[in-house]
Amino acid sequence: MKIFLSGLRDGIPIALGYYAVAFSLGIIAGNVGLDAFMGFIASFFTRASAGEYAGYTLAGAQATYIEVIGMSLIANLRYLLMSTALTQKFRPGTSLFKRIITSACITDEIFGISIAYKGYLNPRYTLGAFAISTPAWALGCTSGIIAGNILPANIVSALSVALYGMFIAIIIPPSKKDRNVGIAVCCSFALSGLCAIMPIISEWSSGTRIILLTILISAAAAIIKPIKNE
């Protein structure tokens, strides 16, 4: 229970940011015809801003189920990398059921705090963060559908700054503690900015660029400065 409550506590800033981001998604969902209950269910089981945005947009365009599923798989492909990375954090002997449940909880932000968890990852920690952030995400979408366009778009966007603050809080401490991690973080910033303006690559989706850079930077770091286990 102590570990679960720890995840619950660390999930509070995620929940606050999620509510704000999902609120804007709710406005989009409402514009394409989803009611509050439909928006709640869709957000509760999806929990992916890019995936939901693409899904709602395609729904509004009367796309087929296959098209919506295919777009969601492509937009959320990065979670395959995150789940793979977390397999290295489990204690040997962790059951398959616990691994599957943990992977179902993964979002960008929950992955961030889970991968930063000291020592072996206890699934209860991830579940704690999931327990508070997911309802906030679903309620945010529902609120956006109900409220419609009451709040200006720039105010809704400003509310989501909590997520960026949380990411900074995740990467700064390990970067200060380990110079190699700091170098990898700086490289990710620099290469992300470079890829955003490079010909051809800049035309790729942000998700595709993230997947490519994640593989390249993590592979280079693992080869040049591997972690020596006891």
For 173-191, how does the pLDDT look when each residue is reduced to its tens digit (9 = 90+)? 888 888 888 999 999 999 9
For 131-157, how does the pLDDT look when each residue is reduced to its tens digit (9 = 90+)? 999 999 999 899 888 886 666 666 666
Say whether pLDDT at 163 is over 70: no
Both structure tokens of 115: 């991968």
pLDDT > 70: percent of the chain: 90
Mean predicted confidence (pLDDT) in 76-98:
88
pTM, two decimals, is 0.71
The pLDDT score that the predictor gives to residue 72 is 81
- Label residue 94 exposed, middle or buried (CB < 10 Å: 0-12, 13-18, 19+): middle
Mean predicted confidence (pLDDT) in 195-223:
84
User: For residues 81 and 59, what is the distance between their CA atoms, to the nearest angstrom?
Assistant: 27
How far is CA 119 from each of CA 6, 59, 82, 84, rounded to the nearest angstrom? 15, 43, 17, 17
For 15-64, how does the pLDDT look when each residue is reduced to its tens digit (9 = 90+)? 988 888 888 788 888 888 888 899 899 889 888 877 788 788 788 888 88
* Interior angle at CA 59, CA 56 and CA 60, nearest 5: 90
